[in-house]
Amino acid sequence: MTSLKRLLQEPGLLIAPGVYDMISLKIAAQSGCKALYMTGYGTVASHLGLPDAGLASYRDMRDRVAMMAPMAAKEGLPFIADADTGYGGLINVAHTVKGYESAGAQAIQLEDQTFPKKCGHTEGRDVIPAEEMVDKIHVAVESRESDDFLIIARTDARTTLGLDEAINRMEKYSKAGADILFIESPETEEELKIIGNHFDKPLVANMVEGGRTPLLSKRVLEELGFKIAIYPAIGFLSAGKALETAYHSLIEKEETPKDLPLYSFEKFNKLMGFEEVWDIEKRYAK
């Protein structure tokens, strides 16, 4: 499996689809992508049925990483995992970094929101003092076992404190040792350009359909200086629409509609690995 660190040394933009459960991971892995991003919003929603508002615990999320990261590795794909604020203070950050790394993630995303955090494309997000986040980054760097496990520093300061403050914070987080930099929710292409021109470390662009940041093409994001584009919402928004259509059609028509677009049952069996089950059964049939 190619490491995320090595991929970031290659030219071009790395597109990481958002995954939130094992089905979305397996389907995303077939897309030809080179990395996967475990979305906090989607993972909390699919696992707990709750909003991404600091309600999921470290154990909730670490358990999801421990399920998904090995499957991503089996598919040959680096796994980037959202860890919110680190689930507490400095000792919690150290514990979170160790837990995510041992679970198989190749990168951990830590943000500077106050607790309880909120989705980065919603209103009402406050941030902790920059110096507190600097300490968190120092602890994260010190706590990892391998330099190949990358620390992504995210700031949510843009929405409430402005772009200049967000850039100022990210400069500090970079000096503290963050490997990848992530300014959440810039609101125009010009702001993305300013960010891209300002830093020489790998930058994350968060492409959320219906979010605060304009959706730009791979070519444009590359030209603006970004190295990773995450698409955290595209999977669960697509699944949500498909399920809404399927269930409403079923109830309204009282049978499976003939024109309903469905993933084929045969193909899904293969996706889940039934061929191996059948092969074993055949070879050991009495």
Domain residue limits at 248: 240-283
Confidence class of residue 166 from pLDDT cuts 50, 70 and 90?
very high
pLDDT at residue 219 tops 60: yes
3-state secondary structure of 243: helix
Residues 222, 254: one domain? Answer: no
Residues 227, 261: one domain? Answer: no
Residues 148, 167: one domain? Answer: yes
pLDDT at residue 116 tops 80: no
How many structural domains is the chain composed of?
A: 2
Instruction: Please give the mean pLDDT across all residues of the chain.
Output: 94
Q: pLDDT of 224-265, one tens digit each?
A: 999 999 999 999 999 999 999 999 999 998 888 888 899 999
Residues 154, 262: one domain? Answer: no
Confidence class of residue 200 from pLDDT cuts 50, 70 and 90?
very high
Q: Are 151 and 143 in contact (CB under 8 A)?
A: no
Residues 89, 166: one domain? Answer: yes
- Give the model's pLDDT for residue 18: 98
Q: What are the helix (H) ranges across the chain?
A: 4-7, 22-29, 40-48, 58-74, 90-103, 130-143, 157-161, 163-175, 189-198, 218-224, 234-253, 265-272, 274-283
Type of residue at 219: R
Strands, sheet with 14-19, edge to edge from the N-terminal-most edge strand = 180-183, 150-155, 107-111, 79-82, 36-38, 14-19, 228-231, 204-206
Confidence class of residue 118 from pLDDT cuts 50, 70 and 90?
low
- CATH number at 143 reads 3.20.20.60
- The contacts of residue 28 (CB under 8 Å, 6+ apart) are 17, 19, 36, 235
Residues 77, 33: one domain? Answer: yes
Q: Which among 113, 141, 133 is positioned nearest to 173, based on CA atoms? A: 133
d(C-alpha 62, C-alpha 68), whole Å: 10
Q: Which among 259, 246, 247, 235 is positioned nearest to 46, based on CA atoms? A: 235
Residues 257, 196: one domain? Answer: no
- Give the model's pLDDT for residue 104: 98
Residues 212, 254: one domain? Answer: no
Residues 135, 158: one domain? Answer: yes
Residues 17, 146: one domain? Answer: yes
Residues 215, 142: one domain? Answer: yes
pTM flag (> 0.85): yes
Q: Cα angle at 152 between 147 and 154, to 5 degrees?
A: 160
Q: pLDDT of 95-114, one tens digit each?
A: 999 999 999 999 999 999 99
